[in-house]
Amino acid sequence: MLRWRAGNNCTFEIVVRTESGLHPLIGKVYAADSEHVYRAMDKLRDAGFTREAETSIPQPIAYVPLLNLLLQEKVTGLAAKKIFGYGGQRLRAVAAERCARWLAQFHSLSPLSGPVRSVDKILARSLRAAGVVS
């Protein structure tokens, strides 16, 4: 198990064997139906956030409604929040520029459908993230 958020979701890693070999995946089990997450990721992929693009997201593989389970590809690499927390000034500047390009592409898309978070939840999450960056 990679992460447990009591009452919300559980994130874990699995490896699937197919005819073409082993494929590491990330599984997320949600407390409530979250098919909208899969649909949003699918729309982002269709809008250009593909595996080959400079700005991307983990590619959605499947959603299993009976289990509230989202399967997505495992992405390797250094997480931006680790770079902002522990990287040198030059590395942080490069990461900030890449994040800005990702966000610009994201904002250029049409608004996604689905549940909207409350301002209070967004603010609380932003304040926690600010602690990592500062």
Specify the pTM: 0.71
* Range with lowest mean pLDDT among 4-8, 80-84, 86-90: 4-8
Spatial distance between the Cα atoms of 15 and 23, rounded to a whole number of angstroms: 5
CATH code assigned at 39: 3.30.200
SS (H, E, C) 66-85: HHCEEEEECCCCCCHHHHHH
Residues 116 and 83 in one domain: yes
Do residues 85 and 108 both lie within one domain? yes
Q: What is the pLDDT of residues 109-118, one digit of tens each?
A: 766 666 677 8
Q: How confident is the model at residue 126 (pLDDT cuts 50, 70, 90)?
A: confident
Q: Are residues 53 and 64 in the same domain?
A: yes
Residue 127 neighbours by CB under 8 Å, 6+ apart: none
- Position of tokens 């699937």? 16
How many structural domains does the chain have? 2
Mean pLDDT along residues 23-40: 93
Same domain, 41 and 97: no
Please give the distance of CA 99 from its chain centroid, rounded to a whole number: 13
Structure tokens that stand for 27 in this block: 């599984």
Percent of the chain with pLDDT over 90: 52
Query: Region 82-101: what's the mean pLDDT?
Result: 93
Neighbouring C-beta atoms of residue 89, cutoff 10 Å: 7
The boundaries of the domain holding residue 7 are 1-76
CA distance 110 to 65: 26
